């Protein structure tokens, strides 16, 4: 039996277009290198800012509670049998394709600018929808996640703003606890001080910003071709 071709699921969440978005340019760099190394492989792209995932509603919540009360994880194909109202069925129709798409990916590439110390609302809406009770049990243990972050300031280890980084710990907890992705399969690539070129107070850090971006580019190319 031939080995299945790998699949990359590429998500961007920046509100800025590519010519002004560091995270978009970095994820595009990874995607190009990955596709060059995997000709003919599966590739799926979602722009969560331009085409937002609908926020979860009351029907999602009630269906999720009912499924969770069942106890044992419910196979995705059986979830519709738990839907009691048209609203619940509608919520599941919005949710199921996104979960299926995630499960089909061998690599999940996340473009994550830091907004107000954490992830953008556009990404959070997608996370909330795909994190349906029991949906990922035992499914993503071999999935690789590459989280590409862009932060206007400096939030690295030892910096004064390190305690305000709620982006990295949140994504780490979600990936490892909810998705079941092993820590070894989760990689963060940070571009720090991305506003140093245009925010006067950050002018002294332009050199550090240049180094951080160059390191992020090199790291992503290495990860994409590994």
Domain boundaries defined on the chain: 7-225
- State the pTM of this model: 0.95
Q: Would you state the pLDDT for residue 28?
A: 98
The model's pLDDT over 3-40, given as tens digits with 9 standing for 90+, comes to 567 999 999 999 999 999 999 999 999 999 999 999 98
Q: What is the DSSP letter of 57?
A: -
Do 131 and 159 meet the contact criterion of CB atoms below 8 Å apart? no
Tell me the C-alpha to C-alpha distance, in Å, between residue 85 and each of 10, 59, 106. Answer: 33, 8, 34
Could you tell me the pLDDT band of residue 2, with boundaries at 50, 70 and 90?
low
| Domain spanning 7-225: CATH superfamily | Flavodoxin domain (3.40.50.360)
Give the Cα separation of 90 and 17 in Å (integer). 31
Residues 52/55/60/62 CA torsion (nearest 10 deg): 180
Question: Long-range contact list for 82-86, CB < 8 A, 24+ apart?
Answer: 85/59
**10 in helix, strand or coil?**
strand
For residue 73, the model assigns a pLDDT of 85
Kindly report the number of other CB atoms within 10 A of residue 2's CB atom: 4
The CA-based diameter of the chain, rounded to the nearest angstrom, is: 60
pLDDT tens by residue, 105-157: 999 999 999 999 999 999 999 999 999 999 998 889 999 999 999 999 999 99
């Amino acid at each position: 039996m031939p080995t299945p071709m790998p699949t990359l699921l590429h998500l961007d969440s920046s509100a800025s277009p590519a010519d002004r978005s560091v995270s978009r340019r970095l994820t595009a760099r990874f995607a190009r290198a990955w596709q060059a190394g995997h000709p003919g492989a599966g590739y799926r792209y979602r722009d969560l800012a331009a085409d937002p995932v609908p926020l979860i509603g009351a029907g999602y919540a009630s269906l999720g509670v009912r499924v969770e009360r069942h106890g044992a994880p419910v196979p995705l194909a059986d979830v519709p049998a738990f839907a009691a109202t048209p609203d619940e069925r509608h919520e599941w129709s919005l949710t199921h394709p996104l979960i299926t798409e995630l499960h089909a990916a061998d690599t999940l590439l996340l473009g994550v600018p830091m907004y107000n110390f954490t992830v953008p609302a556009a990404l959070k809406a997608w996370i909330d929808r795909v994190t349906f009770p029991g949906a990922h049990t035992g499914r993503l243990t071999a999935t690789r996640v590459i989280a590409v972050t862009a932060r206007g300031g400096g939030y690295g280890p030892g910096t004064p703003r390190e305690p305000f980084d709620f982006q990295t710990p949140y994504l780490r907890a979600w990936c490892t606890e909810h998705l079941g992705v092993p820590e070894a399969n989760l990689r963060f690539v940070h571009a720090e001080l991305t506003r140093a070129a245009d925010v006067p107070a950050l002018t002294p850090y332009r050199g550090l910003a240049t180094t951080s971006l160059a390191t992020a580019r090199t790291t992503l190319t290495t990860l994409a071709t590994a």
